[in-house]
Chain A
């Protein structure tokens, strides 16, 4: 059994290597366990800092809140909630660039995260980079959602439409509204939202259709009645607007204003169909008188702006002459005088309303009447 010295050396080396390998395995397991425990503790600490940061932010201590959120991220770098929280806090603190950098960093690891894309969209919309904002909104809409994404997607699309409208992107907004209307449940609330967005997008006729769909189910729906009235008013259908607005009951201040203007349009238009000549003459005289009052207000006001006294004098002279011509006899001989009276009132209203004094519903009605007949003439 006597081994040679060389064999003994080889045997010893093998034993040492086996022992070293065993030590490495044990060391690996021990280190991994220690690292896992440490990681768990860091995550716990990160939660503490995140919660404290949120409390600080809620209490208005922005600087402290942001510092706490940064500590949370340093301890748990993979937690996207912390990154999003910090980005939101920075954006609220007007540090848009810093917020954007954080979001871009998170997006590199999860490009289809809807929350990240949505925040980026809001930041870009805020800084006026509209192309980029729309791209991020689209990424958010078609991102990877967990659970039922219908409601949040709808909210994002509505937000996108509102932003598009705010930036005068009506055509694009309209196409998004149409997509939205196709994906909405057929209930009153959803239809009213779509209808209002159509009004805002400058599509009152389509909006009126949506309001009517609601009213077919619920004739007494006040919001639908008011909305339909406003949509009809925008579409130039004053009779319909009058009908809906008077059925709506209590109205908001804006809707009340629209109702008042609608009433004036319907009661002060001298060229309206099925009126006697006397009625036409009375309406025309009343309107010219109001035009003269507007000129007087301008003369008294210091803020007449571009309206010079010569112009006022000239218009007053025209109005005086028109008043004298607006007799029944004269109107029978030359009915076109009524057209001239409407035109004169429109010219005076255009130059004075909102320049010399705040417009009354009657003034707005006079402008609408004048504009409508001018369009008819053309």
Chain B
């Protein structure tokens, strides 16, 4: 045994050392990529719009560039639309961290083109995907074990975000809170190392400049906390408006025929072009205007208007399938909303108050907590930006209120909801209280019948007279349209809809489970069905991997009991033989 253990120990040690070295390299590469991404967006924006663009140029550039990016996003890089954060989460949780090399490259190219052409999107989300993608590619290149490749993904994401935002602590927290979904993750050390390496690179190239220059703000009066609480409520409501608007407009775009996907970004470009003529301030990342709001450089009317326009512009840009994040727009909307609330408070409050800039700052955090749903990241991010402890208490008050309001009325976080729209279902980050007796994968069977969606109600009715299944699965194994319940079929026949295609009876929300769901979740969901619970793939929730019925569960239990009894007999025989 000793001769095997020593090399194994050595191998494990070498793997740790290699992983540490790769963590530093990935941090550096992610930092470089994030800096280059920022610089490239700046250069291309200048190239496309010039120094002082005319109205015609503001209108045409987003349209023409979106035509090109539309083709790239539809034909060459189909997996780099949108932010990049949800895709990174999906890669981490569902694909063992495997990200193809074309993803970081495609995200860089399309992200630069989309943001630089005026789309109201942020650079942090794409940076996260680029960093995570580079990390995964490096891991695959070095032939790391699958678990280690997976571990490198949040490391790269943290490095990229740290460099993009110059906030190393917030980047680490974001990787743990959002990407991994576990603040107690064992990857804390690695993300810290990568984050530090990335920030060192970023600062040595761009200098130690905070993203925003903010004067020191203080709580002027204890009653001012009420005003900040009000801002938290407003932040929560705005977060809801933004999330629901974004999801519903995107749902509309996704419902269009697949061939339109190539041209959808250009439709977004058309709307953005029209908006830029009226309000060029909503163009791109827009941090210069956030800076003005933070320093009291904008008046109430302008801030209120920009807040509303940015919500619309970001919704349009994102929903139409362009590549770019919602991180920066979130901060922008928060700064404008906070600045507007702060101006009102400053004018009308009967007690001394801080400048509107302080409210803009807290507003940024409140919207971040409400939309991104990462309250710890939000608090630390604002703290790192301001380096001022005084603002922490108002910030926490506003953040928590915004977070709770948003969670109450929009239970699914926006990144997860966006993944749901793409039929990707992430596992829950809630820790299991005790290990499950079994999971859906243990009990499911793949012996199922599918019925084509074009089949008429009458045909299905006649077939059901012979088979009488609990529920009918409509579609194919790769693309399950939904389920038809027997009572719906019967009522359709009674109401004279016999000739209609069966897809007209499909229920919208299909109760389903995933392979990793534990026994309690499976039983709870099975109770909501008529006896047939579909098991769907997590990375493609239209792909059926099996079904669970009560019969499957009973069969599994019987089988396990038999196995247990056989094991006990063997053990007893072994024991008798050894004593004999």
Q: Number of B interface residues at 8 Å Cβ cutoff, please give it.
A: 37
B67 at the interface (CB under 8 A from A): no
Give the Cβ gap from A123 to chain B, nearest Cβ, in Å: 14
A10 touches B14 (CB 8 A): yes
A180 at the interface (CB under 8 A from B): no
**Which residues 353-378 in A have Cβ within 8 Å of B in the complex?**
none
In the complex, the chain B residue whose C-beta lies closest to that of A19 is B141
Among the listed stretches A38-46, A210-218, A282-290, which one makes contact with chain B, having 4 or more residues with CB under 8 Å of it? Answer: A38-46
B296 touches A13 (CB 8 A): no
Among the listed stretches A94-102, A148-156, A184-192, A232-240, which one makes contact with chain B, having 4 or more residues with CB under 8 Å of it? Answer: A94-102
B288 at the interface (CB under 8 A from A): yes
Bound-complex Cα distance A61 to B326 (A): 36
B215 at the interface (CB under 8 A from A): yes
Among the listed stretches A28-36, A128-136, A295-303, A327-335, which one makes contact with chain B, having 4 or more residues with CB under 8 Å of it? Answer: A28-36
A24 touches B215 (CB 8 A): no
A105 at the interface (CB under 8 A from B): yes
A31-B35, A32-B205 given; A98·B297 CB < 8 A: yes
Bound-complex Cα distance A10 to B14 (A): 9
Bound-complex Cα distance A74 to B67 (A): 30
B201 at the interface (CB under 8 A from A): yes
A77 touches B213 (CB 8 A): yes
A20-B25, A20-B138, A45-B51 given; A98·B35 CB < 8 A: no
Among the listed stretches B38-46, B168-176, B363-371, B409-417, which one makes contact with chain A, having 4 or more residues with CB under 8 Å of it? Answer: B38-46
Bound-complex Cα distance A102 to B40 (A): 30
Bound-complex Cα distance A13 to B143 (A): 9
**Which residues 458-481 in B have Cβ within 8 Å of A in the complex?**
none
**Which residues 160-205 in B have Cβ within 8 Å of A in the complex?**
201, 204-205
Report the contact-size class of chain A (Cβ under 8 Å from the partner): 20 to 34
B455 at the interface (CB under 8 A from A): no
A45 touches B213 (CB 8 A): no
Task: Classify the interface of chain B: helix, strand, loop or mixed.
Answer: helix
A70 at the interface (CB under 8 A from B): yes
Among A23, A24, A48, A97, contact of B51 (Cβ-Cβ < 8 Å): A48
**Which residues 130-159 in B have Cβ within 8 Å of A in the complex?**
138, 141-143
B355 at the interface (CB under 8 A from A): yes
B42 touches A42 (CB 8 A): yes
**Which residues 1-52 in B have Cβ within 8 Å of A in the complex?**
7, 11, 14, 18, 21-22, 25, 28-29, 32, 35-36, 39-40, 42-43, 46, 51
Contacts of B21 in A (CB 8 A): 17
Contacts of B141 in A (CB 8 A): 16
A17-B21, A41-B46, A77-B209 given; A34·B39 CB < 8 A: yes
**Which residues 54-105 in A have Cβ within 8 Å of B in the complex?**
70-71, 74, 77, 97-98, 101-102, 104-105
Bound-complex Cα distance A45 to B296 (A): 24
Bound-complex Cα distance A10 to B142 (A): 11
A28-B28, A74-B288 given; A105·B215 CB < 8 A: yes
A24 touches B32 (CB 8 A): yes
A38 touches B42 (CB 8 A): yes
A101 touches B296 (CB 8 A): yes
A24 touches B25 (CB 8 A): yes
**Which residues 487-514 in B have Cβ within 8 Å of A in the complex?**
none
Bound-complex Cα distance A77 to B142 (A): 42
Residues of B at the A interface (CB closer than 8 Å) are: 7, 11, 14, 18, 21-22, 25, 28-29, 32, 35-36, 39-40, 42-43, 46, 51, 138, 141-143, 201, 204-206, 209, 213, 215, 288, 291-292, 295-297, 355, 357
A-B CB proximity, top 4 nearest = A74-B288, A27-B32, A24-B28, A20-B25
Residues of A at the B interface (CB closer than 8 Å) are: 6, 10, 12-13, 16-17, 20-21, 23-24, 27-28, 30-32, 34-35, 38, 41-42, 45, 48, 70-71, 74, 77, 97-98, 101-102, 104-105, 108
Given contacts A27-B32, A70-B292, 19 further A-B contacts (CB under 8 A): A12-B143, A16-B141, A17-B142, A21-B25, A24-B32, A28-B205, A30-B36, A31-B39, A31-B205, A32-B205, A34-B36, A35-B39, A38-B39, A45-B51, A71-B288, A74-B288, A101-B296, A102-B295, A105-B215
